[in-house]
Structures are given as C-alpha cells and as structure tokens.
Chains A and B, each alone.
Chain A
Amino acid sequence: MAEQILQDLQLFYPELALTATFLVAILADLIFRRTSVVVSGIVMIGFVVTAVLVLGQSDLHASIFSNMIAVDPFAHFFKLVIIISAILIVVFSLGSAELNSPNRKLGEYYALLAALTLGMMLMAGASNLLMMYLAIELSSISSYILSGYTKEAPDSSEASLKYVIYGALSSGLMLYGISIIYGLTGSLDIYTINQVLAEGDISGVALLIAGVLTLAGFGYKISAVPFHFWTPDVYEGAPITITAFLSVASKAGGFALMIRFFKVTFIDSSVVTLPEGAWATFEGFEWYHIIAAMSVLTMTLGNLVAIWQNNLKRLLAYSSIAHAGYMLMGVVVLNNQGLAAILIYFVVYLFMNLGAFYVVMLVANKTGSEDIEDYKGLGARAPFITVALAVFFISLTGLPPTAGFIGKLYLFAALLNSGWVWLAVVGALNSVISLYYYVRVFRNMYLRPADQPGPPLVFGKLQTAIVLVLLIPTILLGLYFTPLVQLAQASVKIFGTP
C-alpha cells in the first residue's frame, strides 16, 4: 500500500510542484512583505517547472491513489492548456496597472494564483466524485478571493460576493446530486458506478434527477445557461487578469471534469457494434439531449445579450458564455471526433481569448476605461494593438484565415458527420450574430472619430512582444494546423474507457 502510494507520487509531480510553489509563495510573502516581485518570480518559476513536468507526462495511461486521479492523454492535454494560460496570466499581471497600484500587496495574489491553478489541474484528472468535489472547491474558493482582490473598488467586491453565493449554491446542488448517485450505486468511484449502472436495475428517474443536479456544478464551472448568472458580473468586476484566467483555464478544467464524468460514468462500454470512436449511452438515460438543449440555450443567450453590452469586459464575458455553448456541441455528438474538436477549440480559444483580454487590459492601462464608446478613434492612436484586437475578434467570430475558423470547422464537421444538422445550423447562425457585436467594436475603432482627440498610445517592446506571442498562433493555427489536430486526436484517450 505504502509502496503503491510512493509509486503513484511519481505520476503526481506536476501537482506536487504546484503545491510546493503555493507554500513557498506564502512563506516568501511573509518574509518579503514590501516587494511582491519576489513572490511573482517564485510563482513564475514554479509554473515553468510544472509546465516542464507536465510535458514529460505525455503518453501515460494510469490511475493513481486508488482511482482518485487519472493520468491519461486527455488530462495531459487539459493540463497543458491550463499551465500555459497560467504562465501567460502571471506575465499579464506584472504589467497590469489596475493591480500594481501603490499600497497594494500582491504576494497573496500570486500565491492564490498557484492554488487556483492546482485546483484546475486536479479537475482535469479527478476520477472520483470526492476528488471532483475537492478540485472544484479548491479552484472556486481561490477564484472567489481573486475576483475580489481589488477590494477598494465597489464592483470588485460585489462581483466576489455574487460569485461566492452562486458558487456555493451550485456546489450544494452538485453535492446533493452526488449523494443521490452514491445512494443509488453505493460508490463514489466513477469506474465502479459505471459497472453498477451496466448491470441495470437502477431507477432511471432518480438517476436523471441526480445527473441534472450534478450538472449544476459542472455547468456553473463552464458558465453554461442556466447556471451562467454569475459570469457577466464576475467578469466585469474582477481584475481583468483574473477574468482572462477564469474564461480560459477555469472553463478548461470544468470541461475536462464534465466530459470525464459523463463519458466514464454513463457510457455503456459493452456495446461493440458501434463505429470506431463512437460512444453508447445506457438505455433510459439519454443525457445528451439535456446537453444539446443546454448548448443551444448557452450560445443563443450569450450572443443575443452580448449585442447590448457597452463594457468590453462584459461583452467578452457574454462571448465566452457563447463559446462554452459551441464547445458543448462537441459533447453532444457522442464520439471521439467531437471530443477532438473540443480539444482543438480549446487551444485556439486559449490564444484568441487571452489575446483579446490582454489588448483590452493594455488599453485600460492607458485610458482607464473598458467602455466601447471610448474606443472611438483608437485605430489612429494605437494602430498595432487595434489591428491585433481586430484579428482576435475575427478569430472569435470564426472567420478564415484565423485559428477560430479551424476550431469551428472541426466542431461543425463532427456535428454533420453524426447527423446533428439542426444543431450545426443553430451554431452557424449564432456565429453570424456574434459578428454583429464584434463589428461594433471595429466600427468604433476605425470609423468613428474620437470625442476628444487624445495623444497616440505608446506601448513598450515587452508588451508588443506579448501581443505578438498571442497573435502569431492565432493566425498560424489558421493556416497550418496539422500538428494541433494530430495532438488532439491522440489526446482523446480517457482512462477506463475503450
């Protein structure tokens, strides 16, 4: 037993490195109270070490700590997405004027960032309902604090309170669902639950109620309708670096958790008559209909409400709700092609969404505003970053030749191949709606003169370099995407499924 745990620990190095980073960061914050640069440096080094350790874990296929956590290509892929965005967020935070105001101690901010990342990485691998709950709570509690970090700003603490109330409510609903599943099947281990369900004689109605309640917890993490109410408020009120992190990494963790839960638990692996890569659901529990409805509601509501927004952060919040809806379409098709499409979409989404948030942050650093009206005439004042923002928005809409087009292309292809034509049509219509509100920003940047002409905005070499780091993949992945597609197709293997 002890030997087994020691062996398992070797597969747990990335998470251990993050835990160590968190602890060292807290200690360093106590010692170097005045200079938070030390803590940010420690966290940065910790993240890079973790990234290297994660990279060394490719091609593993194991389950550790008595089936608590799975270490498989699927988790590996999501961990990469999470750690890359964590590194970028540390870089963003160093340059954020909102955070780096005088009198603010940032040591705890960076320490909590490490805890948040740890929670998300555990979400990617959790394969026991207890572990899933703990991972969700670790990331949630860290993000409650982080979203209220600029606590003298009234909207930041308001966002934080709303987040904590919605978060606690949905984790309560999820726990009730978990307790019913436990009562029905007698286990918290998702592989055992799957075996019990395969034997049949479980009440379909009770299982459906438990499944929907559990979905509340996951839906809240990925901000899917009707569990999305916190998203716009938190995204608008939180510091923009945290908004960017939540919109990408938190969503990645939530999707990884949800897909693993549904695929391992509710898929009948005894059916062998299906084509390669397709999944069979248990009789009487067609949960994918619920996900399909959720997907349509999520993208439609996200896109329609985004049209009315005047704050760019809030607009991006609704756009990220809509993107969660697109990605849910990949779950509905019940095969590995859809899963690979989600993975491709996540990498693309990482670059384009973080890019958009970074440009919004750079502009807010200089002008102090995130209002779309204040973007009038910005095209002439800051030509480079407005072009970059335009490219990120074109990519978010899903137009060629950007990476967003490739992401949507693979999603729609997966849908059409498995006969979900109506869902693909809804998705395509939604992309058209989204074009409308992105174009509003273009129009303000390039076609409307500013109310009061301001001086040109000058950005440093480092900031330009970071924009380029995000801009180049956004364009490059739209033109040359074979390696990404191959990586995604190799990463659909989930431990414990055929």
Chain B
Amino acid sequence: MSIPLHYYLGLSAVLFAIGVAGVLTRRNAIVVFMCIELMLNSVNLTLIAFASFMGDISGHVLVFFVMAVAAAEATVGLAIVIALFRNRQTVNIDEINILKW
C-alpha cells in the first residue's frame, strides 16, 4: 500500500508556507537563511513526489541541481553575514537599516 501523491504535496505545501512565513517574520539573518533552506527542500519534496509518481527522470535531475545551488547560495549568504557582522557586530535584520526609502 503506497502513500497517495497528495499527501506529499500537502506536506511540502505546509513546509513551503512555514519557510516563507519564517523569511518574512524572523529577524535573525541566520534563521532567515534556515527558512530559505526549508523552502528549497519543500520544493525538492514536491519535485521528487511528482517525478516518482510519473516515472519521469527530469524531476530527479532538477532536485540535484537545486541542492547544489542551494549549498552555493548558503555559502555566499553566510560569507556576506560574516562581512556584515565585522562592520556592525549584529545579525539582526531590523538593525541593518542604513539604506531605506
């Protein structure tokens, strides 16, 4: 007995919503990056679910690329957080506000 497709889609939609909500509401830059990873992983879950239910390979391939790019993006993001921390001694997004309007 296999788990139906819409269970996977429901789970990944919930994960994605949690990720987006986290990015929009959290104030710590590191936590924001974690929420972005959550979004990307929920996308991976959707892709894998569709790909394995359709028996199509391209979804699996896209997941590998998403994982690789997400790693690169997280690296650059954390490096930028460090560069900023050296200037300001903070990772709170509310205090990072020289530039506005």
Contacts and interface: CB of A to CB of B under 8 A. Distances in A.
Partners in one complex: yes
Nearest to B99: A233
A154 B88 contact: yes
Given A137-B73, A158-B84, A169 B50 contact: no
A181 to B, nearest CB: 10
B80 A161 contact: yes
B99 A155 contact: yes
A161 B76 contact: no
Nearest to B61: A130
Q: Main secondary structure on chain B at its contact with chain A?
A: helix
Interface in B56-101: 56, 58-59, 61-62, 65-66, 69, 72-73, 76-77, 79-81, 83-84, 87-88, 93, 96, 98-101
Contacts of B59: 179, 182, 188
Contacts, number: 129
Contacts of B40: 172, 175
A180 B46 contact: yes
27 contacts: A130-B61, A130-B65, A133-B65, A137-B69, A141-B69, A145-B79, A151-B87, A155-B98, A157-B83, A157-B87, A160-B80, A161-B80, A162-B96, A164-B80, A165-B32, A169-B23, A172-B19, A172-B20, A175-B66, A176-B39, A179-B47, A179-B50, A180-B46, A182-B58, A183-B46, A236-B99, A237-B99
Interface of B: 9, 16, 19-20, 23, 29, 32-33, 36, 39-40, 42-43, 46-47, 50-51, 54, 56, 58-59, 61-62, 65-66, 69, 72-73, 76-77, 79-81, 83-84, 87-88, 93, 96, 98-101
**What 9 A-B pairs come out closest when comparing CB atoms?**
A172-B39, A183-B50, A179-B46, A233-B99, A157-B84, A175-B43, A168-B36, A154-B87, A151-B83
Interface of A: 129-130, 133-134, 137, 140-141, 144-145, 148, 151-152, 154-155, 157-162, 164-165, 168-169, 171-173, 175-176, 178-180, 182-183, 186-189, 232-233, 236-237, 305, 308
